[in-house]
Amino acid sequence: MRQEKYDVPHRENVVLGMAAGLGAHFMFSVMVLCAKVLSTNHSVIEIAFYRNAIGTVPFLFVILVLGRRDILRLHTKPVLVISRAALGAVSLAVTFFAFSLMPLAETTALLFASSLFIPVLAVLVLKETVGPYRWTAVLIGFAGVIVMARPTGDVYILGVSVALFAALLHAILQIILRYLGRFEKPETISFYFFAVGTLITALAMPFIAVTPTISEIPWLLGIGLSGAAAQWMLSTAYRHAPAAVVSVFNYTSIVWATLFGFMVWNEWPLPTVIGGAAIVIASNLLIIWRESRLKSSG
């Protein structure tokens, strides 16, 4: 029986995986920024539809115009690819809903709980080895997120529950992505993620759609294109690096969220945000240092 190209073991490139993970979470931060701006006038399901539909366009251009029809080809895991895409559509709407319920910083901090779920799932599902350095980096990064989020002690049960559910979905999706990266191309996984997500969210559009204004069009384009870039980068990251390593770069999102908050809403970072950002960066440097040592000794 002939082996497909992506049905064989592949060599990992941890540095490339980390770089792709960093870029992916920057793009995710841009996407969240656009979604939060749009959520004042549009349903989160509608926003998810535009994100998926616009994100599909670059892939269609590459497939139809540049002739990359190999992107359409699923090698060995078609059911899992489609299932992940369907779960992704739900996850996206839940995430946008969480951001519409609570302030940006608090929601972002809660979503970082996915980084605590991922190493556990990586061990149980992918049989990856997660050493003390990676566990330490995850815990340090989460501590930095808590510092930056400046928890007030007020508890909004619905918002917290939705955000934590979204975090769990994120972790599940990333573990599936890590597994699929052994068999399918990153661009193939990303294309079906957007295409299936578009079809699912389109079912609700006749009932919830609101005509966007001219001023909202750049935000709609931004949410789609940034989402497409983020998915492709994340697929690349999980193909080349262990899930527990890539997950640490989730923490950089809070840095971008702080920057965007200042640029869009004139929110000046407090000393706690700066201190928390330093902790997050330190956790990332710990992982980079450790992986560099392992690579040089190997």
Judge whether 265 lies within some domain.
Answer: no
Judge whether 107 lies within some domain.
Answer: yes
Nearest-angstrom CA–CA distance, 53 and 61: 13
Nearest-angstrom CA–CA distance, 212 and 221: 12
For the chain, which residues score pLDDT lower than 50? Answer: 1-9
Judge whether 260 lies within some domain.
Answer: no
- pLDDT, tens only, 252-297: 887 887 788 778 877 666 676 677 767 877 776 676 666 666 655 6
Judge whether 235 lies within some domain.
Answer: yes
- Structural domain including 197 reads 12-132+154-250
Amino acid symbol at 176: I
Predicted model pTM: 0.74
Instruction: Count how many domains the chain has.
Output: 1
Pair 247, 133: CB distance under 8 Å: no
pLDDT value at position 4?
45
Nearest-angstrom CA–CA distance, 22 and 76: 28
Mean of all residue pLDDT scores within the chain: 80
Segment 74-77 long-range contacts (CB within 8 Å, at least 24 positions apart): 74/184, 74/188, 74/192, 75/4, 75/5, 75/6, 75/7, 75/183, 75/184, 76/4, 76/6, 76/7, 76/183, 76/184, 77/180, 77/183, 77/184
Q: How far is CA 75 from the centre of its chain?
A: 24
Judge whether 71 lies within some domain.
Answer: yes
3-13 burial code (b ≥16 CB/10 A, e <16): eeebeeeeeee
- pLDDT, tens only, 143-157: 877 776 555 555 567
pLDDT value at position 94?
94
Judge whether 206 lies within some domain.
Answer: yes
Residue 75: CB partners within 8 Å, gap ≥ 6?
A: 4, 5, 6, 7, 183, 184
Judge whether 230 lies within some domain.
Answer: yes
Q: How far is CA 221 from the centre of its chain?
A: 18
Nearest-angstrom CA–CA distance, 179 and 11: 14
Judge whether 42 lies within some domain.
Answer: yes
Sign of torsion over alpha carbons 97, 102, 104, 109: negative
Nearest-angstrom CA–CA distance, 262 and 256: 10
List, as one string, the DSSP characters of 102-144: S-HHHHHHHHTTHHHHHHHHHHHHS-----HHHHHHHHHHHHH
Q: Quick count: other Cβ atoms within 10 Å of Cβ 141?
A: 29
- pLDDT, tens only, 31-43: 988 998 898 899 9
Nearest to 227 by CA among 49, 55, 53, 47: 55
pLDDT value at position 132?
78
DSSP code for 250:
G
